[in-house]
Amino acid sequence: MGPAQGTGPFRCPKCGSVTWGQLQHCPECGESLTVECSECGGTWRYIYDYTYCPSCGAKVGKQRSKL
């Protein structure tokens, strides 16, 4: 995973269940909990609402990773 990693509790963007740590997907609904940069492949938690990739600086959208 990329440079910005959340390890504390947070809510799933799809179902709202509380999840935590380094999980890649929500244990309740399977939703991906990471966003992936289409330019460099860097990943980060969806809770970081970045406009630009923290790894390469490319403008990013809200598409979640399929990791």
Q: How many CA atoms lie within 13 Å of 14's alpha carbon, on the beta-carbon side?
A: 12
Supply the pLDDT for residue 64. 57
The pTM for the full model equals 0.65
Supply the pLDDT for residue 9. 86
Report the distance separating Cα 48 and Cα 56, nearest Å.
Answer: 16
Supply the pLDDT for residue 2. 44
Phi, psi of 31 (to 5 degrees): -60, 140
Q: Taking a C-beta distance cutoff of 8 angstroms, is the pair 6, 49 a contact?
A: no
Phi, psi of 28 (to 5 degrees): -95, -40
Query: Going by C-beta distance under 8 Å and a sequence separation of 6 or more, which residues neighbour residue 56?
Result: 37, 39, 40, 42
